[in-house]
Homo-oligomer: A and B are copies of this chain.
Amino acid sequence: MGHPSHSADCGSLNDALRLPIICEPDPSSQTLVAPKNSIKLLDRKRVLGWLSENVPEKRLNHILRVEETAIKLAEYHNLDWERAAQAGLLHDLAKYFKPKRLLEIAKADGIKLDPVDEINPHLLHADVGAIVARDEFGVVDTEVLAAIYNHTLGRPGMSLISCVVFLADGMEPGRGDTTELNEIRKLSRKNLHRAVLQICEDSMRSLFASRSLIHPRVLQTRNWALQMAQQSAKGDKPKLSSA
């Protein structure tokens, strides 16, 4: 099992992916599409071999369903399905890393930690997954890396490919057949931001019910997705908050 190296030459993933954390939509983020030649062929067989040693079979099946769901959703919206496929396949590389290891790798790479990350380092499996994709599999495409990084909490200003992978992770067929999930599957074809909004709110409602801490980035992503969805509905400006 390879441990990601952290040579100074690699630079910080956080620097490479850093996007402004704002609630107002950041138009520049829509142009975060790496030049076509930055996406390299990925040795899918090698990734599957690595995964079979590092995650249980049940998780591997989830990963394959996320890959397939991401491809279909990207194709449906005329987005780059190859990037969606790579990020889908690589999104859970660090899912079974121990908390101590996640914290060590994230800190070594300069990831800025929220207190909720420190209490619940498992959330860092997304950030660390992107680091492993870069260091173990040589992924350099910033949009693929960002989609891995953003797959759990989202991020204000994330690209449409990130939205696709975020949604695919939450709605792949193995997640179930509830009314809420079927609503998200339907929304994901109508409007990606509207579906991201819904999944963030469903997730927060569920974390209210289970009395769990909520990472502040979920709310930042929700506020951003709300604004994006409202802007795309012609003439519908964001409503102002009363709290």
Contacts and interface: CB of A to CB of B under 8 A. Distances in A.
A177 interface: no
Given A23-B213, A216-B220, A240 B115 contact: no
Nearest to A200: B243
Interface residues of A, number: 39
A215 to B, nearest CB: 6
B213 A226 contact: yes
B23 A116 contact: yes
B210 A239 contact: yes
A205 interface: yes
Contact of A242 (B212, B216, B222): B212
A123 interface: yes
A119 B205 CA distance: 25
Interface in A205-243: 205, 207-208, 210-216, 218-220, 222-223, 226-227, 230, 238-243
A241 B207 contact: yes
24 contacts: A23-B213, A116-B223, A119-B240, A119-B241, A120-B241, A122-B240, A122-B242, A123-B243, A201-B208, A207-B242, A207-B243, A210-B239, A210-B242, A211-B239, A212-B239, A212-B241, A212-B243, A213-B227, A213-B240, A213-B241, A215-B241, A216-B220, A218-B243, A219-B219
Given A219-B214, A243-B218, A238 B119 contact: yes
A239 to B, nearest CB: 5
Nearest to A24: B115
B230 A211 contact: yes
Contacts of A153: 243
A152 interface: yes
B213 A116 contact: no
A47 interface: no
A62 to B, nearest CB: 15
Contacts of A114: 23
A119 B207 CA distance: 27
Nearest to A218: B243
A24 B114 CA distance: 11
A122 B241 CA distance: 9
A22 interface: yes
A201 B204 CA distance: 9
